[in-house]
Amino acid sequence: MHNILLTPGDGIGPEVMDATSRVLGWYQKNRKFEFQAEEALIGGTAFEKVGRSDPDDTIAKAKKADAILFGAVGGPQWDNLPFHQKPERGLLRLRKDLELFANLRPALCFDALKDASSLKPEIVSGLDILIVRELTGGVYFGEPKETTTLPDGQKRAVDTQVYTTSEIDRICRVAFDLARLRGKKLASAEKSNVMVTGVLWRQVVTEVAKDYPDVALTHILADNAAMQLVRNPKQFDVMVTDNLFGDVLSDEAAQLTGSIGMLPSASLGAKRADGKQWALYEPIHGSAPDIAGKGLANPIASILSLAMAFRYSFNRGEDALLLEKAVDTVLAEGFRTGDIMQKGMNQVGTAGMTDAILKALDKVAG
């Protein structure tokens, strides 16, 4: 019996979470997937209901769950909240308190969508890269993080970029292990030309590489990585990078595939003493307030995040493949939500896309 915590959150979060729950129901009925699901508040929605975007109760429930399925947080109505109350704090606290240090962000171009990218189809067709982003360190959490007032009255804001050897070591090992299962190529992106954290990053990854002689390691400056991603993205297989560069580069990589609405992610913690591992799965798109509540959102990223949960938390690789195949099928059949709409295709909303995926699951499961 798997314990799943659902945190739908804000904007389109609840809609894509509903879609994902329907897929969970399909697995319960057809694949003997036994689970208990509970919901908890997070983000702006939590702030409205209980006065905090990161309720203690949600964190406690998350610690008891085998996997968290996360929707999205944020929205313009909360833009002016003080920094520590912003909806994003909910997500950041989950990452920190559950030590979800390894963020896996695949960017995979579905064949049916190679024309939906803003890049030429030959640049993106067959694209399959994995960005491994460090998620609990760096400038997101470094101290001091503060705004002070100088004697002359102007303000001074400080964020701190900080990494220790062990933080770099553990994320690099995750990346090397994954590279081993894929194309045996790892690119490490940092700014060792201007940042001491980059110098340390390069030293540690070079040291870890000695344990992985079968994986080809290259070092790349993060700005060059951003450029190479649009110039020739297929040169990459796995890329490992820090929290902030990973945030930026993964959005860029996502858009190569046609739509950020397509891409899932997994955030994994360290193995715990009881053999389990905390894990959170979320679509990498945000809360998309402009289309929230209209039934238009693309549920594929959230549904593919469930596929990642099957693979990394529930040890059900076959169920993950089934789901990925079902998504591939509906795209090949021409179903499109607005964000990936192309001429001559069949435009559907969130529910229509989910119906199509459930039907495709029946088909591919035989």
Residues 6+ apart with CB under 8 A from 11: 71, 72, 73, 74, 75, 286, 287, 288, 289, 292
Minimum CB distance to Mg ion smaller for 190 or for 247: 247
Minimum CB distance to ligand IPM smaller for 88 or for 128: 88
Told to check if 247 binds Mg ion by CB under 5 A, we report yes
Least Å distance between CB 88 and ligand IPM?
4
- CA angle at residue 45 from 349 to 62, to 5 degrees? 95
Q: Find tokens 């983000």 and name the residue.
A: 43
Least Å distance between CB 135 and ligand IPM?
8
> Which residues inside 51-90 make contact with ligand IPM, applying CB under 6 A?
74, 88
Structure tokens at 289: 């307030």
- Amino acid identity of residue 232, one-letter, is N
Q: Is 54 a catalytic residue?
A: no
Told to check if 247 binds ligand IPM by CB under 6 A, we report yes
> What's the full length of the chain, in residues?
366
Q: Is 362 a catalytic residue?
A: no
Q: Is 191 a catalytic residue?
A: yes
Longest dimension (CA), the chain: 72
Query: How many chain residues are in contact with ligand IPM, going by CB under 6 A?
Result: 5
Least Å distance between CB 260 and Mg ion?
9
In which order are the strands placed within the sheet that holds 216-221? 35-39, 2-9, 67-72, 277-283, 264-271, 102-108, 128-134, 238-241, 185-190, 216-221
Q: Among the options 56, 79, 169, 223, which is catalytic?
A: 223
Least Å distance between CB 9 and ligand IPM?
10
Told to check if 239 binds ligand IPM by CB under 6 A, we report no
Q: Among the options 61, 191, 312, 319, which is catalytic?
A: 191
Distance from C-alpha of 310 to C-alpha of 16, rounded to nearest angstrom: 18
Q: Is 294 a catalytic residue?
A: no
Least Å distance between CB 62 and ligand IPM?
16
Structure tokens at 237: 């297989």
Return the range that interacts with Mg ion (CB under 5 A); candidates 139-147, 242-250, 252-260, 270-278. Answer: 242-250
The closest alpha carbon to 21, from 358, 363, 362, 359, belongs to 358
Minimum CB distance to ligand IPM smaller for 252 or for 333: 252
Q: Among the options 97, 128, 177, 251, which is catalytic?
A: 251
Minimum CB distance to Mg ion smaller for 242 or for 247: 247
Minimum CB distance to ligand IPM smaller for 112 or for 222: 222
User: Which residues make beta-bridge pairs with 268?
Assistant: 102, 279
User: Which residues make beta-bridge pairs with 239?
Assistant: 131, 187
Residue nearest to ligand IPM (CB): 88
Return the range that interacts with Mg ion (CB under 5 A); candidates 128-136, 179-187, 241-249, 347-355. Answer: 241-249
Least Å distance between CB 305 and Mg ion?
15
Return the range that interacts with Mg ion (CB under 5 A); candidates 66-74, 156-164, 246-254, 350-358. Answer: 246-254
Q: Among the options 54, 114, 140, 163, which is catalytic?
A: 140
- CA angle at residue 147 from 144 to 151, to 5 degrees? 115
Q: Is 328 a catalytic residue?
A: no
What does DSSP assign to residue 146? Answer: E
Checking 268-274 for CB contacts under 8 A at 24+ apart, the result is: 268/100, 268/101, 268/102, 268/103, 268/104, 268/174, 268/312, 269/98, 269/99, 269/100, 269/101, 269/102, 270/99, 270/101, 270/170
Positions marked catalytic:
140, 191, 223, 247, 251
Footprint of ligand IPM (CB under 6 A): 74, 88, 91-92, 247
Footprint of Mg ion (CB under 5 A): 247
